[in-house]
Amino acid sequence: MTDVRIRRLETLDERAIRGLSDVLIDCVEGGASVSFMFPMSHTKADAFWRSVADSVVRGERVVLIAEDSAGNIVGTVQVIWAQPENQPHRADVAKMLVHRRLRRQGVGAALLIAAERVALAAGKTLLVLDTASGDAERLYARQGWQRCGQIPDYALWPDGALVATTIFYKSLPGGAPDSATSRT
């Protein structure tokens, strides 16, 4: 991976929000189905990242970034701790985004490895995500994630056409369900 480092943001300041918005806008303009419709704008992107910033402060999620040697954010991913008290071992992985100019260099893989490490360090043993991206599906499968299946017509592409989503999970090391206590 060319001169990109991954780090966790403890808080999202204005510079970080600007950088994260640039990445989000680039992904949506590239056609990614990641919650937003055309036309994408800085107003929508900044509002999203400000709400994420508040959530980080509340301790609900972790934001990881990939940054280049100049300190520019080129990618990001989130680990969201599950809220229900009966799922203390689970987290969701979301908003895996890499700027188009840095794709296919291992940034996504590095972000995913870092997200799994953060989750494991927090004692999480089960990760879940969904994706509408074929590129992302291959990334997750390569890293040992299990494909559960697809929900048709789940969301919209930015241009308004319906798109399916695919659900994945990964049990982290030491996290395989204990047959003595696991019930279906």
Which residues contact ligand COA by CB under 6 A?
A: 27, 32, 34, 96-98, 103-109, 131, 133, 135-136, 138-139
Please give the structure tokens belonging to residue 26: 């680039």
Chain-centre distance of CA 27, in angstroms? 13
DSSP 145: P
Q: How far is the CB of 168 from ligand COA (least distance, A)?
A: 9
Check if the beta carbon of residue 161 is closer than 8 Å to that of residue 33: no
Residues 114, 44, 22: CA angle, nearest 5 degrees = 50
Pick the closer one to ligand COA by CB: 90 or 99: 99
The secondary structure of residue 161, as a DSSP letter, is -
| Closest approach of ligand COA to the CB of residue 121, in Å | 22
Closer to ligand COA at the Cβ: 104 or 183? 104
Q: Minimum distance between the CB of residue 83 and ligand COA, rounded to whole angstroms?
A: 20
Nearest Cα to Cα of residue 157 among 37, 60, 13: 37
How many angstroms separate the CA atoms of 37 and 33, rounded?
A: 8
In whole angstroms, the minimum distance from the beta carbon of 16 to ligand COA comes to 18
Shortest separation between residue 136's beta carbon and ligand COA, angstroms: 4
- Closest residue to ligand COA using C-beta atoms: 108
**Does residue 133 contact residue 96 with C-beta atoms inside 8 Å?**
no
Nearer to ligand COA, 160 or 174 (CB): 160
Pick the closer one to ligand COA by CB: 7 or 138. 138
Nearer residue to ligand COA within complex by CB, 17 or 93: 93
